[in-house]
Structure 1
Amino acid sequence: MTHATIDPTFYRSAAEAGAAPVEQLAYVVAFDRAGEQHDALTVIDVDPASATYGRLVGWSDVTGLGDELHHFGWNACSSALMHEGHDMAGLERRYLIVPGLRSSRLYIFDTHPDPSTPVLVKTVEAAELSEKAGYSRPHTMHCGPNGVFMTCLGGAAGDDDGPGGIALLDHDTFDVLRAWETARGPQHFHYDAWWHLNQNVLISSEWGSPSMIENGVVPELLLSNAYGHALHFWDLATGEHRQRVEFGDQHQMVLEVRPSHDPNATWGFVGVVISTEDLSGSIWRWYRDDQDGEGEEWKAEKVITIPAEPADPDDLPPALKPFGAVPPLITDIDLSVDDRFLYVSCWGTGELKQYDVGDPANPVEVGSVRLGGIVGRAAHPAAPDLPLAGGPQMVEVSRDGKRVYFTNSLYGAWDDQFYPDGVGAWMAKLDVGENGGLSIDERFFPHGEDFRGLRPHQVRLQGGDASSDSYCFR
């Protein structure tokens, strides 16, 4: 197979991805908290030269009710080049696989021939996920070299709180193949998983089982340090667990994993939602300690601490009144494709922070914006008289690193717990300075009834983005 026949959005390196044509569309899932309307895959025009810039130009309903569409992604991406030459015939970045976190259904949308009008072409029912992989509550997915890796929070039907794990899907037929793990080791809770392809290492993280999260944070469980607080390392080829790295019981909810995009690197970042010691959030760097020359030991260190902010208890939701403070609640992070900047969503305080991570062991804050927040309710420049609820949550970075997009809803029950007077619905875009720094794009502010009563969650960018692809070549 010649290079000319390969999907042009399969990038051989991070540099090639950054130099590719910029995105014209953003795909955003949105859900109905009440389960009375159909959730939807929406399409937003992100071309500044377009007459419909910043507006919804496509809308595709799913068929079920109460799915709570959450994290989603492409059927195939640049990681397919790991197997270039023998199993790529006809493979392309074409289909979006959209899981329902509450229903355990998977919806498959075809973005061809009209990218602004995705068409629902297949539904994988919860029973297939349960019977073939032994899992439920699909949460996060990544396209791998020869399949789709779908992390799941729950066990098989009837054992929802049984160990979560990774279901492997065929990236052509979307059939559920099996559980990916062959020797699962000690991991019980699950959340995210990604990898260092050239190192044959998968990294996975921990949140909690479905009963611990689906009705909001359970204060008794949080204060007893019962949520996930470790990182796991696996043999990517065999599915065997290799190592567990403990963060300490107080560091609750180890969520998004963001490996370096450099295929030869052996480091990455993971976000921790909250410390039960002081309500701070934190970012940890994992790295391989190969001082012994064998390169087998993985370690992690805290490299960023973001403190809670004092607040009048009268301004706080019931869950936070006893503490008199707003925790940052680090709910998402994203690493730019060139590995230069790390973005951290502080959903509680309404802040998006930008760090220069040229030295991954010593991040330096270089930018910040505030929108929303439990107490601040900072408004968008496009609507200065509209206090915003929610805050920067799911964050996505363009391949060239010049644009950052984010939405405001976390998870239905958590939205209601921390923003009991309503979380609203909005999306924002930031422009990135050449040497760091962030500015809000005043022309881009889909919000309110633009989303027809639904809450927007994750963003995917046409042609790929910072959290879609892993690269095989320098």
Structure 2
Amino acid sequence: MVQRPDPTFHASPKLASEAPPEKFAYTLLLSPDFSKPDALAIVDVDPSSAQYGKIVHTVTMPNKGDEFHHFGWNACSSALSPLTGHAFLERRYLIIPGLRSSRLYIIDTKPHPTQAKIHKIIEPEEIFHKTGYSRPHTVHCGPDGIYVSTLGGAGPDGTDGPPGIFILDCETFDVLGRWEIDRGPQLLHYDFWWNLPRDYMVSSEWGLPPQFENGIVPEDLLANKYGHHVHFWNLRARRNVQTIDLGANHQMALEVRPAHDPAREYGFLGVVVDTTNLEGSIWTWWREGSEFRIEKTATIPAEPADPSLLPPLLKGFGAVPPLITDIDLSLDDKFLYVACWGTGELRQYDVTTPRKPKLVGSLHAGGIARKAALPDGTAFAGGPQMLEISRDGKRVYVTNSLYSTWDDQFYPEGVPGAMALVNVNPAGGVAFDKTFRVEVPDGYRTHQVRLEGGDCSTDSFCYSSA
């Protein structure tokens, strides 16, 4: 029998964008008070289905207190790498990290999404023993294995040594070990992604577990003790080649989004807050010869607000910071979407000229002071937080929970789980889909979404678009 690559693997972003649209969305459900296990909800997103917008299957975990975060596939389009790929793998398993528990769940989505089930559980002791890391956060499928970033080092509070990345075998799911050979000055961690043919990785910083597990630490924020560096790595040598300080006032450099087309050597970074004025910012990096450059290319100001509308954390400022908690880039590298979780705004930028983002679309849902309802009057607590774009760029899925303790600080009235769909105008512009409503079970919040067959923050590509 002739083996063929998984049909959901695509050589280039353009080919991926031409693939059939997703029919199911995998959505994380979090129990914020840890009274119930976290779960994975499978949502029907096929408009022609009688179950459209409904949760059609749920995988409930056997443990409590995991606090799921940025999950990913065992394999994706990166498996087509001509150098170290595993082209005959199957996009079949989802790897879900428990940020609070340091536990990993491997979920088998075959033979059908509505029959997804637990395949394997990797207990925290194995991760501690083999890597010295804790608090797994982000999962990316690479050409030679599954990469998992962590936010904690060793020890009970995760501060015994720096966090980093470890590798899982993409077939057995064994923990292999630390990825870094030479980390250079990197001491904090958050997100990471790469340009495979150009052989480099980019990583960012949030904070250590004592700085986020019990909520934001105002004293650390005002003292500029959260992450404010971006790191560039030689991917194959596993070596830090350059670190750039964004300035200590640029606190919490989070999501990293390289251009999808590997011929384009640039990408974007979202910074949560500037402690001098509460604005959020978008940064663009690029490479000149052997050196990387980065500059602030867009800013989003704080919104003045009546202190009576603000949580205790913000009353003294009389304003709501945008709090950029996620950014996502369409597969054609045209639109960058920015989630402003504090002000409740979703922004759409045209980034055809990467160093000159142009605001072309905006809408509001939730927000600390605005509390904007959806167009049909449905309440949306929290604000746009995690974003996922369909491969064809026509839809953006939006959820509303950041992290349990941070939710409670910024939205003390609660953040009931919500999931919305935004339709995209190809010329620029966004609007909520009025027909799509997901009833999230009581007591759960929603975090990241993955789409059947891949999406815009899952796959990395080995070949340029024709």
- How many percent of aligned residue pairs carry the same amino acid? 57
**What is residue 261 of structure 2 aligned with on the other side?**
262
**What is residue 139 of structure 2 aligned with on the other side?**
141
Residue 463 (str. 1) matches residue 458 (str. 2): no
Q: 1:80 to 1:324 in 2, by over 3 A?
A: same
Question: What is the rounded CA distance, in whole Å, between the counterparts of 1:394 and 1:169 in structure 2?
Answer: 25
Question: What is the rounded CA distance, in whole Å, between the counterparts of 2:302 and 2:20 in structure 1?
Answer: 40
**What is residue 250 of structure 2 aligned with on the other side?**
251
| TM superposition shift of 1:421 | 1.1
1:81-160 equivalence runs, <5 A? 81-83=80-82, 87-89=86-88, 91-158=89-156, 160=158
Question: What is the rounded CA distance, in whole Å, between the counterparts of 2:413 and 2:85 in structure 1?
Answer: 55
**What is residue 367 of structure 2 aligned with on the other side?**
373
Question: What is the rounded CA distance, in whole Å, between the counterparts of 1:160 and 1:308 in structure 2?
Answer: 33
1:21-420 equivalence runs, <5 A? 21-83=20-82, 87-89=86-88, 91-158=89-156, 160-161=158-159, 162-289=161-288, 295-382=289-376, 384=377, 386-420=378-412
1:436-447 equivalence runs, <5 A? 436-447=428-439
More moved, 250-259 vs 168-177: 168-177
Question: What is the rounded CA distance, in whole Å, between the counterparts of 1:253 and 1:70 in structure 2?
Answer: 17
SS in 2 for 1:319: helix
SS in 2 for 1:129: helix
Structure 1 contact 345–352 (Cα < 8 Å) conserved = yes
Question: What is the rounded CA distance, in whole Å, between the counterparts of 1:300 and 1:80 in structure 2?
Answer: 29
Question: What is the rounded CA distance, in whole Å, between the counterparts of 2:52 and 2:429 in structure 1?
Answer: 23
SS in 2 for 1:20: coil
Question: What is the rounded CA distance, in whole Å, between the counterparts of 1:19 and 1:85 in structure 2?
Answer: 26
SS in 2 for 1:456: strand
Where do 5+ consecutive residues of structure 1 fail to align? 290-294
| TM superposition shift of 1:84 | 7.2
- Cα deviation 1:159-215 (Å, max 9, x = unaligned): 612311001111111111000000111111100010011111010000000010111
SS in 1 for 2:316: helix
SS in 2 for 1:199: coil
Which residue identity lines up with residue 115 of structure 1 in the other structure?
Answer: P
Which residue identity lines up with residue 454 of structure 1 in the other structure?
Answer: Y
| TM superposition shift of 1:85 | 8.9
| TM superposition shift of 1:87 | 3.8
Which residue identity lines up with residue 141 of structure 1 in the other structure?
Answer: V
Which residue identity lines up with residue 121 of structure 1 in the other structure?
Answer: H
Which residue identity lines up with residue 323 of structure 2 in the other structure?
Answer: L
Which residue identity lines up with residue 440 of structure 1 in the other structure?
Answer: F
Question: What is the rounded CA distance, in whole Å, between the counterparts of 2:197 and 2:325 in structure 1?
Answer: 28
Q: 1:32 to 1:86 in 2, by over 3 A?
A: closer
Question: What is the rounded CA distance, in whole Å, between the counterparts of 2:284 and 2:304 in structure 1?
Answer: 27
| TM superposition shift of 1:351 | 0.4
**What is residue 292 of structure 1 aligned with on the other side?**
none
Give the TM-score taking structure 2 as reference length.
0.97
Aligned length in residues: 463
Structure 2 contact 157–209 (Cα < 8 Å) conserved = no
| TM superposition shift of 1:118 | 1.2
Where do 5+ consecutive residues of structure 2 fail to align? none
